[in-house]
A = this chain, B = another copy of it.
Amino acid sequence: MEILIAEDDEQIANSLKKNLAEEGHHIMVVHDGQKALRSTDSILFDVIILDWRMPKVTGVEVCKHLRNSGNKVPVILLTALSQVANKVEALQLGADDYITKPFSFDELKARIEAVVRRYQTNEKELIVANLKLDLLSRKVSTPFGEISLTGKEYDLLKYFILHKGSIIGKEELTKSVWELNYSSGTNVIEVTIKNLREKLEEKLGKKLIKSVYGEGYIFIPE
Binding site for B on A (CB under 8 A): 84-85, 87-88, 91-92, 96-97, 100, 104, 106-107, 109-111, 113-114, 118, 121-124, 135-136, 138, 151
Task: Report A53 CB to chain B, min CB distance, Å.
Answer: 19
Q: Report how far A118 CA is from B114 CA in the complex, Å.
A: 13
CB proximity of A82 to chain B, nearest CB, Å:
12
Give the shortest distance, in Å, between A118 (CB) and chain B (any CB).
7
With both beta carbons as reference points, the residue of chain B lying nearest to A158 in the complex is identified as B136
B88 touches A110 (CB 8 A): yes
Are B135 and A110 in contact, CB atoms less than 8 angstroms apart?
A: no
Is A91 touching B113 in the complex (CB atoms < 8 A)? yes
Q: With A122-B122, A136-B135 in contact, is A91–B114 under 8 Å at CB?
A: yes
Shortest Cβ-Cβ A-B pairs, 5 listed = A88-B110, A91-B114, A91-B110, A88-B106, A135-B136
Contact check, A110 vs B92: say whether CB atoms are below 8 A apart.
yes
Question: How many Å lie between the Cα of A133 and that of B118 in the bound state?
Answer: 19
Q: How far is the CA of A122 from the CA of B121 in the complex (A)?
A: 9
**What's the nearest-Cβ distance from chain B to residue A130, in Å?**
22
Bound: A110/B135 CA distance, A:
27
Nearest-CB distance from A85 to chain B (Å)? 7
Chain B residues closer than 8 Å to A135, beta-carbon distance: 124, 135-136
